[in-house]
Amino acid sequence: MIIPYTSPNLLGSEATEVAISPFTLVFEKAGLAFAASVMNAIILTSVLSAGNSGLYAATRMLWSMAMENKAPKLLKKVNRRGIPIAALVTTTIIGALTFITTLSENGTVIYTWLLSASGLTGFIAWVGIAISHYRFRRAFVKQGYSLDTLAYKAKFFPFGPILALALCLLVIVGQDYNAFIHPDWGNPGWWQRIAISYIGLPVFLVFWLSYKLIHKTKVIPLEDCEFDK
């Protein structure tokens, strides 16, 4: 079954509400309401699972940052079961506020901004992972360690991390490459489109540069990297 790209239920149409799942829409168009309900249940279960893992990851990340003095000390607090309760409450409040904002009249716009920012941030994180892996292997060998002592050795080094870095940078730069092919400098809507597509990049750069300037950090030479810990 073909759904018109102008369908008001699809993201990117003129709809003022968040689009529904295209799978659900197909079942509804086919008259299989029961199947559509099952699909909705599956999607909701997946969303809850993703939300649960996101809550856990964000909580532990805040707690770890606090333990390294990279976040407020309050976030170090844990209960008697070892759960970082302060970080958990903080993450829950931020998540709840984010959800509430999507219920406003401009909910679709807010959702798009949040989705773009978080999606781009994920690729930025993978850039950091690729660089870290590349430098780890080089420093490990430079300091005289044998790769045979590693429990796992990534194949295709250094091609693997270099390729991953190049592809991630390509995705980041090409978030909305078509806007640069047909620029409309005088149109406020064009600038908003660029901002939505790349909002995660300046946010990352501001925090990263601020941390480096405040703490005066430098790139650690390969021969000075620590592996004993």
Residue 15 has pLDDT above 50, yes or no: no
Of residues 111 and 144, the one with the higher pLDDT is: 144
Reported as a single tens digit per residue, the pLDDT across 84-136 is 999 999 999 988 888 887 777 777 777 777 777 777 888 899 999 999 999 99
The share of the chain scoring above pLDDT 70, in percent, equals 89
Amino acid 18: pLDDT = 47
What pLDDT is stored for residue 229 in this prediction?
57
At a CB cut-off of 8 Å and minimum separation 6, what does 8 contact? 14, 15
Tell me the CA end-to-end span of the chain in Å, nearest whole number.
58
Percentage, residues of the chain above pLDDT 90? 26
pLDDT of residue 135: 94
- Nearest CA among 55, 67, 18, 220 for reference residue 9: 18
The number of beta carbons lying within 10 Å of the beta carbon of residue 107 is 16
* Average pLDDT rounded to a whole number, residues 61-81: 90
Mean pLDDT for the chain?
Answer: 83
5, burial (CB in 10 Å: exposed 0-12, middle 13-18, buried 19+) = exposed
pLDDT in the model for residue 14: 46
Does the pLDDT value for residue 218 go beyond 70? yes
Q: In terms of pLDDT, which residue wins out, 98 or 61?
A: 61
The tokens describing 22, both together, are 């295209």
CB 31 within 8 A of CB 47: no
Of 12-16, 141-145, 146-150, 202-206, the range with the lowest mean pLDDT is 12-16
Region 149-159: mean pLDDT is: 87
* Global pTM value: 0.68
Indicate the residue type of 187: N
Lowest mean pLDDT among 58-67, 121-130, 185-194, 215-224: 185-194
Number of helices (H), then strands (E), belonging to the chain: the values are 8, 0
CA–CA dist 149, 21 (Å, integer) = 48
Query: Distance (Å, rounded) from C-alpha 225 to C-alpha 214?
Result: 22
